[in-house]
Amino acid sequence: MRVYTTGVFDILHRGHLNILTQAAALGELVVGIMTDHGVEATKGSRPILSLEEREAQVRSLPFVAQVIHYTDPDQRANYAAVYPDIVVQGDDWLFSADRSAALAYLREKGVRLVLLPRTAGISTSEIRNRVARSGRRDEQFLRDRLKMVAVDQLRIFEAFDEDKVQRLVAKIRTEGVFFNPVSIVREMIVIDGANRFESLRRLGARYAPCIVYDYSEIDLLGNVHYLKDGRKTRLSEFAREQGEKIEFPRRTPAEIRAAAESGQLIPNGETFHRVPQSVIRLPIPLAALSAATPFDLAAALDERINDGKIRYFQSGVYVCDEW
């Protein structure tokens, strides 16, 4: 069987490899790579890597039998030249342009079309954003956004998971330390960390370390869960994307505010607030959170920044300990 797939393949990543390996499993794989001129004409900008560099990446894969170039998104001439039995594309291919002529050709010639699901969470654009952020250290973000907030000022919009809360309470009580700040918006609504927040309340904390965001900075998504062998993982928690896929509806900030105000909470884990930067592993003694006066978070941050104890990840995650 002869298999044909196409793409730009600028900065080869996991999403590309998922498509290419699955296509190669169907037969002898021929890959069409769009030329620099074609990319500029269709996307409005040239790719980061030249055609020669992109071709070298794809040719280096041992399961690729042949590489060709194309400029026109209309693939009918290439279909006629390659003469594939199967054409493989990502499932967004049908909607990225007018594919009616190509579909008619494939039906007429009896060529099988296979659409594979796009790999969530990775794209060339996302990698570009990582690179743009990689040179930043953003100490000012930490100083501006990390705050100690009175627990009784905060509201929740989603229910907590009782099993997780019980485990967190036991862990925090045993270690005597609270690590991961709670994410909130300026309306004092907890948008990520309902289980951590409930754990702090049960442990008698008066204050909670919080990262404060504006809703305009946040992508508010419907979460995706995966069930496999009785185990559930979430897209918002770096799920492995294996097993039964369960998608939840996308909520709006107005719905989040309404849930927080009414007390009719959204089930735990159905929403995904994707934030531009996040902070993890910031240790604060539980006793300090239970004290009558708030913990001096600004001084603790300055000490860690000055001592080089914060790691700045390309993904916008700042790890605030000295591992």
pLDDT, tens digit, 9 for 90 and up, residues 134-187: 556 678 889 999 999 999 999 999 999 999 999 999 999 999 999 999 999 999
pLDDT at 76: 93
Q: Which fold has domain 135-319?
A: 3.90.1530
| Burial profile 276-299: b = 16 or more Cβ within 10 angstroms, e = fewer | ebbbebbebebebbeeeebbebee
CA dist 224 and 118 (Å) reads: 14
- pLDDT per position as a tens digit, 229-255: 878 888 777 656 788 888 999 999 999
> What's residue 93's pLDDT?
84
Among the four given CATH numbers 3.40.50.150, 3.90.199.10, 3.40.50.620, 3.10.129.10, the one describing domain 2-126:
3.40.50.620
Instruction: Report pLDDT for 187.
Output: 95
Report the Cα–Cα distance between both ends of the chain, in Å, rounded.
52
Give me the residue spans of the domains in the chain: 2-126, 135-319
DSSP state of 158: B
**How many CB atoms neighbour CB 31 within 10 A?**
25
pLDDT band of residue 323 (cuts 50, 70, 90) is: very low
Is residue 196's pLDDT more than 80? yes
Where is average pLDDT lowest: 63-77, 98-112, 115-129?
Answer: 115-129
**What's residue 322's pLDDT?**
45
Residue 316 is encoded by which pair of tokens?
């916008």
Arithmetic mean of pLDDT, 258-275: 93
**Helix (H), strand (E) at residue 32:** strand 28-34
Is the confidence at residue 319, as pLDDT, over 70? no
In this predicted model, what pLDDT tens digit does every residue of 83-108 receive, in sequence order?
999 999 988 888 777 888 999 999 99
Say what the pTM is.
Answer: 0.58
Q: Which residues contact 187 (CB under 8 A, 6 or more apart)?
A: 155, 257, 260
CA dihedral (94, 98, 103, 105) positive or negative: negative
Report the relative pairing of strands 28-34 and 2-7 from DSSP bridges. Answer: parallel
Q: Provide the mean pLDDT of the chain.
A: 89
* List of residues 6+ apart from 14 with CB closer than 8 A: 119, 122
**Strand ranges for 186-264 from DSSP E:** 189-192, 207-213, 219-222, 224-228, 231-234, 244-247
What local confidence, expressed as pLDDT, does residue 238 receive?
A: 63
